[in-house]
Amino acid sequence: MHVAMSAPILIPGYVVLPYLPSRRAAATSPMVGGMLWGAVLMMSIVVWPTVSRRVSENDARRTVREKEYAAAEKHKDEKRAGNLES
């Protein structure tokens, strides 16, 4: 996730550039703004496959846990029913 962590560094850097007299001309250029926001967009897109994979893995784990819990509850209910019959 190092890619996603660099966006918060880029944006304040872009905001500070116009206040530096030697960098003001470059900072006000539409090319610099386009490159910065393009980089932020690319960094946002790059992390999507990782995030979607993690979501899928978490969903699969949750499904397994729910099935295990349901099986344990069913076993407890059967045990209670057996105890009541005795």
pLDDT tens for the chain, residues 1 to 86: 466 677 777 778 777 877 877 777 777 778 888 888 888 888 888 888 888 999 999 999 999 999 999 999 999 988 888 877 76
| Residue showing tokens 């992390």 | 47
pLDDT value of position 86: 63
The answer to whether the CB of 3 falls within 8 A of the CB of 47 is yes
10 Å CB burial of residue 75 (0-12, 13-18, 19+) is: exposed
> Which residue ranges make up each domain of the chain?
1-46, 48-86
What one-letter code names the amino acid at 39? A
pLDDT value of position 63: 96
